[in-house]
Amino acid sequence: MTTVLLTGFEPFDNDSINPSWEVVHRLQGETIAGAMVVATQLACEFGKSLRQLERAIKKHQPTIVIAVGQAGGRTDITPERVAINLTDARIGDNAGKQPTDRPIHPQGPAAYFSTLPVKAMVQALQREGLPASLSLSAGTFVCNHVFYGLMAMQQRHGVQRCGFIHIPFLPSQAAGRTGAPSMAQEDMVRALRICVEVSVRRKRDVRTTGGTTH
Ligand code: PCA
């Protein structure tokens, strides 16, 4: 049976919840498009998060890995296209580490592209009435670190498709931040279910325009 590994993060930056884990753990144990979903929580720490990810991949031997993280301030579900070989932390991670201008793998390529069908995911989400768009940057903090590290270990562990999706705040987080956008938990659970389904069914992405001019 095909296994899909989903990861979400623990809370960070003084928050008490992280929507990525709140949503991902709800899908644990579900069968989606004939694939079994397993969910793992990652620490919001450089280094440790990637060790935990590699351990989970070794344990579950997934065909597909989708890492999920919070992107506070975004309005949409945003599949990420590119992971870059750079860390430049605006805040400390949960262990207080705050690296500046460091490569993730000194000998690695400047960037990796997601191997998930990201455009097909966005299309499917929009068709289901969910706000979604492609993102060209996962930032330079722990999420990009995990995304880049995941892409770097893809072949070594026989993972067929993998990548990263950022999701907005939950309404309870936006409640304390006037003007911040958010998305209901049920909608985000539905959205991730759709993303898993598309990634199981589609080996290749759709050919459609999805770029930006700036
Ligand atoms: N978001 C952070 C790290 C953990 C998370 O959920 C980020 O975008 O880097």
Rounded Cα distance between 122 and 131, Å, is 9
Provide the edge-to-edge strand list for the sheet that holds 35-42. Answer: 31-32, 35-42, 3-9, 64-70, 161-167, 78-79
Q: Phi and psi dihedrals of 85, rounded to 5?
A: -85, 60
Residues 133-143 have pLDDT tens digits of 999 999 999 99
Closest to 5 in 3D by CA, of 158, 205, 174: 158
Query: How wide is the angle at C-alpha 101 spanned by C-alphas 95 and 103, nearest 5°?
Result: 85
Q: Give 70: exposed, middle or buried? Use CB within 10 Å, 0-12, 13-18, 19+.
A: buried
Instruction: Give the model's confidence band at 210: pLDDT under 50 very low, under 70 low, under 90 confident, else very high.
Output: confident
Atom 1, ligand 1: which residue's CA is nearest?
A: 70
**Residue of 22, 44, 45, 166 with catalytic role:** 166
Rounded Cα distance between 107 and 122, Å, is 33
Residues 160-185 have pLDDT tens digits of 999 999 999 999 999 989 999 999 99
145 is catalytic: no
CA of 1 to the centre of ligand 1 (A): 30
Mutation choice for ligand 1 from 53, 141, 164, CB with most ligand atoms inside 8 A: 141
CA of 161 to the centre of ligand 1 (A): 21
Atom 9, ligand 1: which residue's CA is nearest?
A: 143
Residues 29-45 have pLDDT tens digits of 999 999 999 999 999 99
CA of 158 to the centre of ligand 1 (A): 26
80 is catalytic: yes
* Residue ranges of domains in the chain, CATH in brackets: 3-201 (3.40.630.20)
The structure tokens listed for 189 are 């659970």
Closest to 109 in 3D by CA, of 141, 148, 55: 148
CA of 140 to the centre of ligand 1 (A): 9
Atom 8, ligand 1: which residue's CA is nearest?
A: 143
CB-based pocket (< 6 A), ligand 1: 9, 12, 18, 20, 44, 69-71, 139, 141-143
Residues 66-119 have pLDDT tens digits of 999 999 999 999 999 999 999 999 999 999 999 999 999 999 999 999 999 999
The structure tokens listed for 145 are 């670190």
Average pLDDT, the chain: 98
**Residue of 22, 44, 45, 143 with catalytic role:** 143
Task: Report whether 196 contacts 37 (CB < 8 A).
Answer: yes
The structure tokens listed for 65 are 């890995």
Residues 109-148 have pLDDT tens digits of 999 999 999 999 999 999 999 999 999 999 999 999 999 9
Residues 6+ apart with CB under 8 A from 105: 85, 148, 149, 152
162 is catalytic: no
The structure tokens listed for 185 are 């938990």
Task: Report whether 181 contacts 73 (CB < 8 A).
Answer: yes
- Which atom of ligand 1 lies nearest, measured to the CA of 71? 8
